[in-house]
Structure 1
Amino acid sequence: MAMTLATRVVAFLLVTGLIATLLVGHGSVSRGYEALLALGDIAAGSEESRLKQRTPDPSRESLTYAIDEHEYQADLYRPEEPRRGSLILVHGFTEAGRRDPRLMEFAITLSRLGFTVMVPDLEGLKDFSISTREADAIADAIRYATDELSAGESGTAVAAISLAVGPALIAAKQKDTKDRVRFLIALGGYYDLTDMLRYVTTGEDRGGAGQEAPPPLREGRWAVLLSQLHWLDDESDRAVLASIARNKLDDPHAAVQAEVDRLGPQGRAAYDLATNEDPQRVEALIRELPPPMVEEFEALDLSAQDLGKLEARLVLIHGPEDRVIPVSHSRRLQDALPQGQARLFEAGGLNHVEVSPGWRDGWGLWRATTHLLALGERE
């Protein structure tokens, strides 16, 4: 019989209780024990946890801010005891944006740990139309947070999820933002977009250095397709491809050939890339896409970026069995930075961005959480 979520949390805490006991001393709770409580809280979701019992609920307020005539909406989570500075939490693909229930629970957990958490709404990540405008929006959030929330401190932290990792890294290395970011947490992010597309559509992980990756989630190809429809000129192509993608997400066996036959040249090029299963054809199919789509694709590709401009410490957290973006991407991202600037935690308790710690796989997540708590402490 499968364990309930609450049972898994209790089992995780009991098995690691010896570690926690060794980390507690003389009435003060160490970072290690705090990390343990944080993981238990994340796994518990809205249910009770020891962290909830120990800490008061953070307050949440909505805010509107403007940078260079661009107006943004965000939620701000304030802890009763702000002891770890500010942190910008960047959501991944979710139509609910900053109000995604899982994201809100994660923000509350981070705030209980002493972070003042800012969660901006990013329109491109809400409607699956990711582009460089998300990098600009994250850069503006960094400017706002460091001016309004982190006055007198050495900057803010940034945490980004999945495909938002690329725009967050690009935002954090700009001329007027690179000295404002203390550290950046990249959860299940990408490095090379061409190789990511190759994996999602064909299953080949060209950056895996000979290590076989798990088979990709088949629905990943349709999510990628939805993320680029806004670059198509033909409104009819956009509507037809959106219908195809959503039908396939609902039912992988859905018949869509009649809709495919209605596509124009641009729409057919996007569909051919999404449905291709030949690893050798990926580059050629990308070149057939509309020029604006290719330009944005290249602009968001971290493997083509000058990452030497990034000054922040980078905390990479990636599940070794990730079936959306292989762990090889975080390994290559770590290798692309100067030695010691990035630290990678391969966490078996992480299924892309879903946390499910158990006694075998909670160790990596615990180490990663302990590390980021140490980075977050005020100097």
Structure 2
Amino acid sequence: MRRAGLIVVALLLVAILGLLSPPGRRAIDTARLMVALAGSPAPAAVRSMTYGGGRADLHGERGPVLVLLPGAAIAGKDDPRLVRFAAALVGAGWRVMVPDLAGAKALTLSAADAAEVAEAVRRAPGNKVALAAISYAAVPAVLAGLEPDVAAKVAVMVAVGPPYDARRVIGFFTTGFWRGKRLEPNAYGKWVFVLSNARRLTDSGDRILLEAVARRRMADLGAAIGDLTGRLGPQGRAVMALLDNADPARVPELIDGLPPGIGDEISRLDLAARDLSGFAPEVLVIHGSDDRIVPVGEGEALAAAVPRGRLYRLGNLAHADLTASGLADAATLGRAVYRLLEWRDRMG
């Protein structure tokens, strides 16, 4: 009996020591972060910071810094989902810096957003940071990471639901086809595209009309727009021809037929046209197979294009909402979280 008791005590000591080891602590923190993401994490202390021409919210008071980039959302850094995500990360030992990205908040997406991201990383506290980008924000994050000084500071990047091939994504949200398969796209991406690009038209009348079309449809996807589109000139009609097209074979010619300002910006935002073979940070790509804004193959392509890409493919993930559904998805998301926490410990 005494021997059995000693064995039990020894096993308990081994278990306790295991939990107190770095892997054990990371496992516990992974579980805590997963629970926080699925529920309501405790609010974190938040203070404002300014740097150069930018400003950000800094969540938490200690730990290595993770720069969290909002996607294309009008609320920007104040989006409730983003604030909840930041609070969950603080509970896992990070300080979270959320820059106020003017382009993402105004839905005027452009390659110039990369300069804002790069400056936020440069001004973030600490010698090394992690960088997490939601949806579209992965594009300026990668572009910023091509700058040598930014690459030297970013230890790891997380990309949630990222685009990769700009022309292919446009073809998907206009026709529903992606690599020969028909899916049902979420129309939000289409109207963000219109609102973002209307300002690039040189015809001011078409610019105003297209912005009105986009805002009306974003408020009500079934709203009538004929009173607006019927007044469009050549530039606006070229945009609507792409949006109304249902034939994937016509997408390349319709993109090439867009007004130059729009076509040029598409090229600048196309990661598939960039050489990412020298991209330095490790990239953790998290993408759901059910994504109807950016198909999961885009995340797969980004993970394959960078030297140190890791893909975490979930069956169900509401585009940019990091809540796992089911045990298999929880296990996959847990592996991504654990890997991020390994970087936290290296940086801390």
**Alignment TM-score > 0.5, same fold:** yes
What is the DSSP-based 3-state SS (H/G/I as helix, E as strand, rest coil) of the residue aligned with 2:210? helix
Q: 1:370 aligned to 2:327?
A: no
Alignment partner, residue 10 of structure 1? none
Q: What's the counterpart of residue 161 of structure 1?
A: 134
Matched, 1:110 2:89: yes
How many angstroms does 1:235 deviate by? 2.6
Q: 1:26 to 1:376 in 2, by over 3 A?
A: closer
Among candidates 30, 34, 46, match of residue 60 of structure 1: 46
- One-letter identity of the residue aligned with 1:320: S
Which among 30, 42, 60 is matched to residue 78 of structure 1? 60
Aligned to 2:105: 126
2:144 pairs with 168, 171, 174, which one? Answer: 171
Secondary structure class of the residue paired with 1:355: coil
Q: Secondary structure at the match of 2:177?
A: coil
SS of the residue corresponding to residue 152 of structure 2 reads coil
Aligned position for 1:218: 187
Aligned to 1:347: 314
Contact 2:289 2:313 survives alignment (8 Å): yes
Unpaired runs of at least 5, structure 1: 1-21
Amino acid at match of 1:176: D
What is the match of residue 259 of structure 1?
Answer: 228
Unpaired runs of 5+ in structure 2?
1-14
1:23–1:368 CA distance, 2 compared to 1 (3 A): farther
Normalising by the residue count of structure 2, what TM-score does the alignment of the two structures yield?
0.89
Residue number in structure 1 paired with 2:200 = 231
Q: Which residue of 1 aligns with 2:4?
A: none
Match of 2:287 in 1: 318
- Work out whether 1:335 is the aligned partner of 2:304: yes
Mapped to 1, the partners of 2:20 and 2:138 lie a distance apart of 38
Q: Over alpha carbons, which structure has the higher Rg?
A: 2
CA contact (8 A) 1:161 1:186 kept: yes
CA offsets 1:57-80 (integer angstroms, 9 cap, x no match): 5321111110xxxx011111123x
The equivalent residue for 1:270 is: 239
Counterpart position of 1:139: 118
Percent identity between the two aligned chains:
36
Number of equivalences: 330
- Match in the other structure for 1:16: none
Cα separation, 2, equivalents of 1:373 and 1:137: 26
Q: Structure 1 counterpart of 2:345, which letter?
A: E
* Cα deviation 1:199-237 (Å, max 9, x = unaligned): 11111112xxx7x46421234322221221221122322
Q: 1:117 to 1:328 in 2, by over 3 A?
A: same
Please tell me whether residue 34 in structure 1 is matched to residue 3 in structure 2: no
- Give CA deviations for 1:226-251 in whole Å, capped at 9, x if unaligned: 22122112232222112212222333
Q: TM-score with structure 1 length normalisation?
A: 0.82
Instruction: Classify the secondary structure of the residue corresponding to 2:186.
Output: coil
Whether the 8 Å CA contact 2:81–2:321 is kept in 1: the answer is no
Q: Is the 8 A contact 2:283 2:306 kept in 1?
A: no
1:299 offset after TM fit, Å? 1.0
Tell whether the 8 Å contact from 2:177 to 2:183 is kept in structure 1 after alignment: no
Equivalent residues of 1:214, 1:321 under 8 A apart: no
Q: What amino acid does structure 1 have at the position aligned with 2:44?
A: P
Deviation at 1:27, TM superposition (A): 5.5
CA distance in 1, matches of 2:16, 2:91: 19
| 8 Å contact from structure 1 (residues 224, 274) kept in 2 | no
Deviates more, 1:28-37 or 1:223-232: 28-37
What amino acid is the match of 2:232? L
Find 1:186's aligned residue among 152, 159, 162. 159
Q: Could you say what the CA RMSD is over the residues aligned between the two structures, in angstroms?
A: 2.0
Equivalent in the alignment of 1:248: 217
